[in-house]
Amino acid sequence: MRPFVRAVLGCAALLAAVSVATVGEADQARVPTSPAEVRLTYAPIVKRITPSVVNVYAARVVENRNPLMDDPVFRRFFGGPQNQVQRSLGSGVIVDSSGLVITNNHVVENMDQVKVALSDKREFEAEIVLKDARSDLAVLRLKEATEKFPAIALGDSDGLEVGDIVLAIGNPFGVGQTVTHGIVSAVARTQIGITDYHFFIQTDAAINPGNSGGALVDLTGRLVGINTAIFSRSGGSQGIGFAIPVNMVRSVIASAQGGSSVVRRPWLGAKLQAVTAEISEAFGLKRPAGALVATIVPDSPAARAGLRTGDLIVTIDGTEVEDPNAFDYRFATKAMGGKAQVDVLRSGRTVSLMVPLEAVPDGPRDERVIRSRSPFLGAKVANLSPALADELRLDLSLKGCAIVGIEQGSPAGNLGFRKGDVVVAVNGEKIKTSHDLDQIARERFRLWRITILRDGQPISVVFGG
């Protein structure tokens, strides 16, 4: 036999011997003898975390409205309207030992019955204490809870790096609490379009429907994100999941702990736009980055800090700004009070400005539901203020009367009015307040000529009386 063949066979025999020895050792279970060996399993972390992760079940009763039910003869033979129960399934995380649970807003949106199941199978009715559509987060409180619950520790999402190992815990497809693992694929995805604050942690940890609101944790067992969405063509996990950074979650938790039903965040009072290649070249930049100031609201924090139209924001408190979405996230996660240092490029030099961290001003909204027979019947309207405009994602400088809600099945909804529409004029009369609209809706007109502002564009419509 040639030497080369003998050498190969000899190596094969050696590998076989090693394999047998390895299998024999693996069959012998033993207690780890060092911290290094413990880190080879996620079990200690999972055991500590899972009591803080819950399942969220939400439901609401919807009446199936059939016009034929208005006929008493039809009702006699076929019975009354049949109600339908709509259900939503998700996950949540206990963030306060008193029984506060954070989850996604889309899990409980429009729901009136919420139940939370703990990892030990106990169930509690829960009330929704805060909903924040802008961040897609909501806070629940367990009802009739008299004990201390295991709250998860909050980490620092800004400390995450691409390649870090993370665990995702939730209730995918309703099968029960499930743990998956993966790595951080990206730390600042800003073009996702899931919430107003386009800034997400991307991970390849398996996330599926039902994981929404669940925990994304690091290997110290700290919460670094709330699992929110997946990118999928099939409805199942494709290895691309997105989580809301815990530093955004903190402000929502703090607002709920303070007894507020809305999240108070700093507002800038300026509209920002993305930097194109041409703009970056004009500023002498090597690549497109930063946020260009397009407009400024008078007497806003931006105006009082000295920010100007045409300034290019490059950093906030020393952190580089990649685009307007990144700036919005960084600014919104600042604590109220104090100031944030914003560095801008202006006329070829860097200028540092101190922007006060203040809540957006509100005013008397005078919310009311239009009950008069008119195209607005069933519309809930209110006076616009910067705070309301901020909530509705409108231009903060807008004034007037905005639609803030539409009753299901109402004439206003059937005619196509939407939440966020600003009523500009009715039959030639300008509408400045919700009272103005309520009064003119009481009139009797054969034709209703209505002008609204939607997505910044005026729309004129005519309805018969």
Residue 253, SS3 per DSSP: helix
138 domain-assigned: yes
Last residue of a domain, one of 301, 330, 356: 356
Residue 78 structural domain: 52-142
Are both 68 and 120 inside the same structural domain? yes
pLDDT reported for residue 19: 41
Per DSSP, 254 falls in state: H
**CA angle (277 as vertex; 272, 281 as ends), nearest 5:** 100
Task: Verify whether residue 455 is a known catalytic residue.
Answer: no
Let me know: does 283 contact 312? Beta carbons within 8 Å.
Answer: yes
Q: Let me know if residue 42 belongs to a domain.
A: no
Annotation marks residue 438 as catalytic: no
Is 46 part of any domain? no
| Residue of 212, 251, 385, 434 marked catalytic | 212
| Active-site residue, selected from the candidate residues 106, 135, 300, 343 | 106
CATH number (domain holding residue 97):
2.40.10.10
Q: What is the DSSP string of 7-37?
A: HHHHHHHHHHHHHHHHHHHHTS-----SHHH
Same structural domain, 248 and 275: no
Provide the pLDDT for residue 1. 39
**CB-CB contact of 241 with 203 (8 Å):** yes
Do residues 221 and 163 both lie within one domain? Answer: yes
> For residue 199, what pLDDT is reported?
81
Q: What is the pLDDT of residue 10?
A: 37
Last residue of a domain, one of 204, 223, 257: 257
Q: Are residues 87 and 109 in the same domain?
A: yes
| Pair 110, 165 in one domain | no
How does the average pLDDT of the chain come out, rounded? 85
Number of domains in the chain: 4
The answer to the question of residue 137 being in a domain is yes
**One pLDDT digit (tens) per residue for the chain, 465 residues:** 333 333 333 333 333 443 434 444 445 667 767 777 656 788 999 999 999 999 999 988 766 555 555 556 555 555 555 667 778 889 999 999 999 999 999 999 888 899 999 999 999 999 999 999 888 999 999 998 889 999 999 999 999 999 999 999 998 887 888 999 999 998 877 766 666 667 889 998 888 888 899 999 999 999 999 998 876 565 665 668 899 999 999 999 999 998 888 888 899 999 899 999 999 999 999 999 999 999 998 899 999 999 999 999 999 999 999 999 899 999 999 988 999 999 999 999 999 999 999 988 888 999 999 999 999 999 999 999 988 888 888 887 788 999 999 998 899 999 999 999 999 999 999 999 999 999 999 998 989 999 999 988 999 999 986
d(CA 432, CA 411) in angstroms, rounded, equals: 22
Give the model's pLDDT for residue 327: 94
Q: Are residues 65 and 131 in the same domain?
A: yes
Q: What is the pLDDT of residues 381-393, one digit of tens each?
A: 999 998 888 888 8
Query: 380 and 311 share a domain?
Result: no
Q: Is residue 240 part of a domain?
A: yes
| Residue where the block lists tokens 């607002």 | 255
Instruction: Say whether 136 is catalytic.
Output: yes
The bridge status of strand 113-117 relative to strand 123-132 is antiparallel
Last residue of a domain, one of 226, 257, 288: 257
Residues 297 and 217 reside in one and the same domain: no
Distances (CA, A) of 283 to 302, 305, 306: 21, 22, 19
Residues 140-195: pLDDT tens digits? 999 988 899 999 999 999 999 999 999 999 988 878 889 999 999 988 777 666 66
Residue 182 shares a structural domain with residue 249: yes
Token pair belonging to 352 = 């540092």
The reply to whether 87 falls in a domain is yes
322 belongs to a structural domain: yes
Same domain membership, residue 175 and residue 208? yes
Please, are residues 187 and 205 in contact by the beta-carbon 8 Å criterion? no
Residue 317 dihedral angles phi and psi, to the nearest 5°: 50, 40
Task: Copy the structure tokens of residue 460.
Answer: 């004129």
Task: Judge whether 263 lies within some domain.
Answer: no
Task: Judge if 233 and 213 occupy the same domain.
Answer: yes
Identified catalytic residue from 88, 91, 132, 136: 136
Neighbours of 95 (CB within 10 A): 27
Q: pTM of the prediction?
A: 0.76
Do 397 and 377 share a structural domain? yes
Which CATH number belongs to the domain containing residue 385 in this structure?
2.30.42.10
Q: Is 323 exposed, middle or buried (0-12, 13-18, 19+ CB in 10 A)?
A: buried
